[in-house]
Amino acid sequence: MHIGPLLGSGRTADVYALDGPWVLRRYRDGIDATGELAVLSYLSASGYPVPRIGPPAEEALPTDLVMRRLTGPTLAEALRAGTVTEGAGAELLARLLRELHALPPRLSQDPEDRILHLDLHPENVVMTSGGAVVTDWLTSGEGPPELDRAMTSVILAQGALDPTSPAGDQLRELLAALLSRFADDGGVPADALARATALRAADPRLTTHGTAVLDEAAELVASLAA
């Protein structure tokens, strides 16, 4: 497939148009997409809602992923527009994590481990006409499900504490609603919250504000989960 014009750029990748319904996601800074491709292939075969993987583009690089173009707003956009309520958004995020954690791990031999997204938040859920699709699996891994719940909670708390974000209050409401649903799945234990906070602190892509409020975000999660 021929690589067409640039469609958009994110924190780590550029997206280009391809022939037909496909797009090319090309990571910058030499980030290898091979591991993400393996996870996406496994999840797709398991029936989990991830972007469909396409054939390689011309002059494909290890940093490339070819995926079917997704049409629809992100969950974040739907929440801001009021077409999805905080309660419904929380229910969706909890369900997506629950369904992901119902699948056996791809690599780990520990029967308690599951595939973890480790970056699941409203910007990474696209509301297509066929249902919600989870994107951006670059940081995925395997481990205990409570770590994934903790990571999502910390990310939402960081957004809620951002004074420049007009959605801060909305994210706090979403977080509170989500934590109440997590309680039925095992909650967010203190050790998982501490581990998620440490992993988040080690993320080189974290903004200056995100780093500054990280401890406060963990405290917010703990207080709302109590």
For residue 115, list its beta bridge partners.
142
Amino acid 165: pLDDT: 84
pLDDT number for residue 1: 67
Do residues 89 and 109 lie in contact, with contact meaning Cβ atoms separated by under 8 Å?
A: no
List where CATH 3.30.200 sits in the chain: 6-68
Axis-axis angle for helices 145-160, 214-225 (nearest 10): 110
Backbone angles phi, psi at 187, to 5 degrees: 70, -160
Residues β-bridged to residue 6: 16
**Please, is 79 exposed, middle or buried when counting C-beta atoms within 10 Å of its C-beta (0-12, 13-18, 19+)?**
buried
What are the residue ranges in the chain where pLDDT is below 70?
Answer: 1
For residues 172 and 156, give the distance between their C-alpha atoms in angstroms, rounded to a whole number.
7
- At 171, phi and psi to the nearest 5? -65, -35
Domain 75-225 sits in CATH at: 3.90.1200
Q: Is 125 exposed, middle or buried (0-12, 13-18, 19+ CB in 10 A)?
A: buried
Distance CA 153, CA 215 (A): 13
Residue limits of CATH 3.90.1200 in the chain: 75-225
Q: What is the pLDDT of residue 141?
A: 97
pLDDT, position 226:
86
Among the listed residues 122, 135, 1, 111, the one whose alpha carbon sits nearest the alpha carbon of residue 56: 1
Per 3-state DSSP, the chain is made up of helix, strand and coil in percentages (nearest 5) of: 45, 15, 40
CATH fold of the domain at 6-68: Phosphorylase Kinase; domain 1 (3.30.200)
- The secondary element (H helix, E strand) that includes residue 2 is none
- Residues β-bridged to residue 116: 141
Residue found under tokens 């609603």: 177
CB count within 10 Å of CB 52 equals 14
Tell if the pTM clears 0.75, that is, is over it: yes
Angle of helix 168-182 versus helix 214-225 axis, rounded to 10: 50
Phi, psi angle pair for 192, to nearest 5°? -70, -40
In the block, tokens 């958004």 appear at: 89
User: How far is it, in rounded angstroms, from Cα 52 to Cα 134?
Assistant: 11
